[in-house]
Amino acid sequence: MKFVDIVNISVSAGKGGDGHISFRREKYVPKGGPDGGDGGNGGSVVFKADRQLTTLLDFRYNRAYKAADGKQGMKSTKTGKSGKDLLIRVPLGTLVKDSDTDELIVDLKEEGQEFTVAKGGNGGWGNFRFATATNQTPRFANPGLPGEEKNLILELKLLADVGIVGLPNVGKSTLISVISAAKPKIADYPFTTLTPNLGMVRIAEGKSYTVADVPGLIEGASTGKGLGIQFLRHIERTQVLLFMLDALSDDPLADYKVLRNELTQYNKKLDKKQRIVCFSRLDAITEDRLSEIKSIKFREKKLRVHYISAVAGIGIDDLKHNLWEFVSEGKE
């Protein structure tokens, strides 16, 4: 399934029904008074966050949404039927913005959260509302009011506790497939990951967290090179960033600096998040090489560094529990 994380749509709430003009016609009341009923209210457009949805793909094929209009009022002061609200389900983590002003309208980040983005118009008053002592037979009624119309931007930002970043083909997808139930497609070529992957990591009963990886970053990603820039928004909400470095790289420290620089160029706040570093592919290196990478000095003195092999299962449990410590501290 194609992953889509930003779309433009238009929404229109329903128009209120017109008020009705009529007069009573009863057998023994030759001059009955006004009895035209009110029009029904127009339907509203409502967004609802749904955890089961993972992409905005459906909105690519349907860009315009309209709620039902209210019905006209009727005789005997009967109110017209209100238009049905239009409920639109969107993925958890969807931001709704006004496309004309770029103003954030709502951030739908809680399961089941609902928000009325366009309110239906009120129904018009029927002529019975206008009867007075001096005007006992009003021959007019109010028209229904139009519903709100808006042009919107829907932007999806995945809700994950841990964001995995790294250069292309460093093993991010393999790791997420090992530590969670997610099963991303994996192949042996750069830019294997063409869409973000989201997985749930379970430590014990009541202890779990979500992990997301993004397509590999390359130098210049923050300015549009490669694929990473399209998906960096998905790690803006994370509590912890896991930097994956290739133990076979000629200069892992330089790779780390590239990754940090690209994140900072995209959003300076990303550099203030908790960080953990892990070297992957431990099964493919010698003991001498392992000693070399363990001697690498990072600028951050308290930076936690792990050495793993997702394929061989080396160091995976320690990494999972270390990530849980960071996530649980952040939640507290």
pLDDT at residue number 187: 46
Residue 173: the pLDDT is: 83
User: What's the pLDDT tens digit per position in 233-284?
Assistant: 778 888 999 999 999 999 999 999 988 988 888 888 888 899 999 999 999 9
- pLDDT at 68 (0 to 100): 97
The residue ranking higher by pLDDT, 148 or 60, is 148
Confidence of residue 199 (pLDDT cuts 50, 70, 90): confident
pLDDT over 90 at 108, yes or no: yes
How far apart CA 161 and CA 203 sit, in angstroms, is 14
Task: Record the tokens describing residue 84, joined without a space.
Answer: 């049905």
| Closest residue by Cα to residue 331 from 218, 209, 227, 236 | 209
What is the spatial distance between Cα 120 and Cα 83, in angstroms, rounded to a whole number? 8
- Give me the pLDDT at residue 191, please: 44
Q: What is the pLDDT of residues 77-103, one digit of tens each?
A: 999 999 999 999 999 999 999 999 999
Q: Are 130 and 19 in contact (CB under 8 A)?
A: no
Whether 11 shows a pLDDT value over 80: the answer reads yes
Q: Which pair of structure tokens corresponds to residue 43?
A: 């339907």
Which of 228, 101, 243 is closest to 162 using CA atoms? 243
Return all residues near 170 (Cβ < 8 A) that are at least 6 apart. Answer: 216, 244, 245, 246, 280
* For residues 156-164, average pLDDT: 87
How much is the average pLDDT of 140-152? 96
Q: Mean pLDDT throughout 286-310?
A: 91
Structural domains of the chain, ranges and CATH numbers in brackets: 6-156 (2.70.210.12), 162-331 (3.40.50.300)
* Proportion of the chain above pLDDT 90, given as a percent: 54
Q: Is pLDDT above 50 for 113?
A: yes
At 232 the pLDDT is 76
pLDDT band at 184 (very low <50, low <70, confident <90, very high): low
Asked if the model's pLDDT at residue 190 lies above 60, the reply is no
Average pLDDT of the residues of the chain: 87
Average pLDDT estimate for 211-221: 69
Higher pLDDT among residues 47 and 160, named by residue: 47
Give residue-wise pLDDT tens across range 23-43: 987 776 666 789 999 999 999
Mean pLDDT, rounded, for 37-63: 92
Distance of CA 261 to the CA centre of its chain: 26
> Residue 57's pLDDT is what?
86
Contacts of 119 (CB under 8 A, 6+ apart): 13, 44, 147, 148
